[in-house]
Amino acid sequence: MLSHCSPGLLARTGRGQTVIRRSAPAGGGGYFGAVVPPAGRRLGVSGLSFDVHHHLSSLRTEQALPGPFPLRFRPYVEEEFRRHYAASHYPKTRPLVVIILGFVFAMLIWGVILDDLSWQTAAFTLGVLIPGLIATLVLSYKDDSHRAYQALLAWTAFLIGLVCTSLTLRASLYGMPYYFGAQVAWIFVVWLVLGLTAVQAGLAAIGVSLVYAWGMVHWDFSGPEAVFTGATLLGVNLVGAYCCWQLESAERRAFLESRALNELADRDGLTGLYNRRRYEEHIDKLWRQSRRDHEQFTVLLIDIDHFKAYNDLYGHQAGDDALKRVAEAISLCGQRPLDCAARFGGEEFALVLYGPAEDYGRELPERLRRDVEELKIPHAESSTGPYLTVSVGVAIVTPGTERSLAGVIQLADEALYQAKEEGRNRVVVKESRHAELQTGRFRASRDREREPA
C-alpha cells in the first residue's frame, strides 16, 4: 500500500516492498554492463564467497591469454603489471639514460672540435636521438605514462643501436673488428638492463641485428667474417631472449603472488568480501573519481534482520553459515570492476556502485533483498517472516562541491534506519540531485568540511 508522503516522494510500505524518496524527478539512463543475479536463483554455501573465488581464481587460472607461449595477463591485470614493471626498473634506467645523454653530447662536441661531424649525423643526433632520450627521461616521472615510456624507451634503444651499428661497421671496414664488442654489449643491454618487456626488447635488439646483417651484405664483408659475426649475433640474441623471458616470467610470478596476498589481506576472513579497511580505501577513491567524472554514486547498506535472535536460537556456527550465504548473494550484485562489496561489521554489509544508477540503483537492491529471502534460511524467532531477511538502505547521489562522502554514508544509514522502522525486509532508496538538500551530515560545511577537487 502507499503511505502518506510529501510531494515528490513515493513510498510503498507493504512488507517486502521498496520505498523510494527523491528530491528531484528521476532522469533517464540505466546502469551499463550490470551483472545482476536472476530472481529466484539459489545460492550455495561455501568457505569463501563467490566474489573471493572469482578474484583469486582469475589470478591463477585466467592470468595468461591462450597461446603456445603465454606471457601476458588478461587486460585488467596486464595494465596493472605494466605499471608495476616499469616503475620497478626506473631506478636503473633513469641513470643509464642520463649517462647516455652525457656521452652523446660529449661525442657531438668532440666531433665539432675535430671538424669530423657530417650534417647528417648532426641532424640525426640533435633532431631525433637527443629529443628521444630527453622525452624518455621525462615520461619516467609522469604518472600513468608507463606504456608511452616503455614504447619510447624501446624506440630510443633501437636508434642507439643504429648508431652503434654504423660505428662498428665502419670500424670493421677500416680493419678494427674489435669494435664489434660494443654492438654485442648494447644488444645485451637492450635485452637485460633497460627493463623492457620481452616483446619490446626483441623488436629493438633483433631490429638492430638485422640492420647490422644488411650492412655486412651491403659492404661485402668476407665470408668467414660474415659467418662468424652472424653466428655471434644469433647466439647473443638467443641468450638475451631466453634470459629476458625468464626474468619477465619471474617478475610476473612475483607480481601475481604479491597481488594474491594483498587480495587475501583485503578480505574478511569469514565471508570473503572486502574488509572494512579495504572498503574505506576503495570508497574514498571512488568518491573522488565520481566527483571528477561527475558520475552518480550509489551506496547500499545491508543489515540482516533479527540476527542476534538467530544466533541465540541456532548457535554461532549456524550464524556464520548464514553470514556466508548472505555475503555470497551480495557479492553477485557487485561484479563490475569498480563495484565494491564489503562486510561493514557484524551482520552489516556495504555495496558501493559507480556510474549512472537511476533504475539500476532501485532495482538491484530489491533483487538482492528478494534473493536473500529466497535462500529460505529458517528463522523461527523472526517477527518479519519464517526466513532470514535483510533490510537495505540506498543513497544515490551526484557528487558536488557541497557534498561530503560522510554525508552520503549518513544518507544511506538514514535509509536503512527507515527500512527497519517500517517493518524490516524492505528497501528504502533516497536520491538527491540538489546541493542544498540537508539531511544528517549530507551537507558539507563551507568552513570545515570542503574537500579538494
pLDDT for 380? 93
Instruction: Identify the CA nearest to 37 among candidates 324, 327, 329.
Output: 329
Cα–Cα distance, 156 to 195 (Å, whole number):
13
Cell of 271: 565471508
pLDDT for 244? 95
Cα–Cα distance, 177 to 168 (Å, whole number):
7
- How many residues does this entry show for the chain? 453
Cell of 137: 627521461
Cα–Cα distance, 389 to 425 (Å, whole number):
6
- C-alpha dist (Å) from residue 432 to 21, 96, 440: 9, 55, 13
Which residue's entry shows cell 527523491?
22
pLDDT for 23? 37
Instruction: Identify the CA nearest to 299 among candidates 182, 416, 447.
Output: 416
Instruction: Identify the CA nearest to 56 among candidates 77, 32, 70.
Output: 77
Residue 412 near residue 431 (C-beta atoms within 8 A): no
DSSP string, 195-212: ---HHHHHHHHHHHHHHH
Domains detected in the chain: 9-48+274-432 (3.30.70.270), 75-264 (no CATH)
Taking the chain, what is the end-to-end CA distance rounded to the nearest angstrom? 43
pLDDT for 401? 55
> What are the φ/ψ torsions at residue 56 (nearest 5 degrees)?
-75, -35
pLDDT for 119? 87
DSSP-based three-state secondary structure for 336: coil
pLDDT for 356? 60
Instruction: Identify the CA nearest to 408 among candidates 448, 453, 441.
Output: 441
pLDDT for 223? 87
Q: What is the dihedral of CA 440, 443, 446, 448, to 10 degrees?
A: 40
> What are the φ/ψ torsions at residue 198 (nearest 5 degrees)?
-60, -40
**Bridge-partner residues for 393, per DSSP?**
301, 428
Burial per residue of 160-182, b for 16 or more beta-carbon CB atoms within 10 angstroms, e otherwise: bbbbbbeebbebbeeeeeeebee
pLDDT for 79? 87
> What are the φ/ψ torsions at residue 167 (nearest 5 degrees)?
-65, -40
Q: What is the dihedral of CA 161, 71, 253, 141, to 10 degrees?
A: 40
**H or E element in which residue 260 lies:** helix 223-265
pLDDT for 324? 94
Cα–Cα distance, 292 to 180 (Å, whole number):
54
Cα–Cα distance, 149 to 135 (Å, whole number):
8
Q: Is the full-model pTM beyond 0.75?
A: no
Cα–chain-centroid distance for residue 204? 29
For residue 156, give every residue at least 6 positions away whose Cβ sits within 8 Å of its Cβ, in sequence order, or none.
Answer: 129, 132, 133, 136
Q: E-strand spans in 260-401? A: 297-304, 340-345, 348-354, 390-397
Cα–Cα distance, 352 to 109 (Å, whole number):
60
DSSP string, 113-142: HTT---HHHHHHIIIIIHHHHHHHHHHTTS
Residue 13 near residue 422 (C-beta atoms within 8 A): yes
The pLDDT tens digits of the residues spanning 105-157 come to 998 899 888 887 888 888 999 999 999 999 999 999 998 899 999 999 999 99
pLDDT for 63? 52
Maximum pairwise Cα distance, the chain: 100
pLDDT for 5? 32
Q: What is the pLDDT along the chain (453 residues), one digit of tens a residue?
A: 333 333 333 333 344 444 444 333 333 333 223 333 333 333 333 334 444 444 445 445 445 555 444 567 878 788 889 999 999 999 999 999 999 999 999 988 998 888 878 888 889 999 999 999 999 999 999 988 999 999 999 999 999 999 999 999 999 988 888 899 999 999 999 999 999 999 999 999 999 999 999 999 999 898 888 999 999 999 999 999 999 999 999 999 899 888 888 877 888 889 989 998 888 988 998 888 888 888 888 999 999 999 999 999 999 999 999 999 999 999 988 777 788 899 988 899 999 988 765 667 678 899 999 999 999 999 999 998 899 999 999 998 877 656 788 888 999 999 999 999 999 999 999 887 543 444 443 333 333 333 433
Name the amino acid, one letter, at 36: V
**H or E element in which residue 18 lies:** strand 18-21
pLDDT for 272? 87
Residue 409 near residue 378 (C-beta atoms within 8 A): no
Name the amino acid, one letter, at 298: T
Residue 431 near residue 26 (C-beta atoms within 8 A): yes
Which residue's entry shows cell 524467532?
381
Residue 241 near residue 197 (C-beta atoms within 8 A): no
